[in-house]
Amino acid sequence: MKSDTLIPPAAGHKESRLRVLIADKSAHMRETVRRVLMQHQGCTVVGEAETMLEAVRLARHSNAD
């Protein structure tokens, strides 16, 4: 992901947060990435997945919010 990429706020929202789904087979790597991302105010971790199939399922569910 490019650091200069901006996501415009959704209609009716003053501020938009970057929603992230972490996917990696290593629990240690997922934990490390989550800790780094949680330090950024504009970022929300919406889930973690170990497999691609699990990531797709979580992304579909998360997108429905």
The structure tokens listed for 14 are 């003053």
Length of the chain: 65
CA distance 41 to 32: 17
Give tens-digit pLDDT for 13-63. Answer: 555 688 899 999 999 999 999 999 989 888 989 899 999 999 999 988 876
Q: Which residues contact 57 (CB under 8 A, 6 or more apart)?
A: 49
Q: For residue 28, which of 16, 19, 36 has the smallest C-alpha distance? A: 36
Put simply, whether the predicted model's pTM sits higher than 0.85 gets the answer no
pLDDT score of 62: 72
Residue carrying the six token digits 């780094």: 36
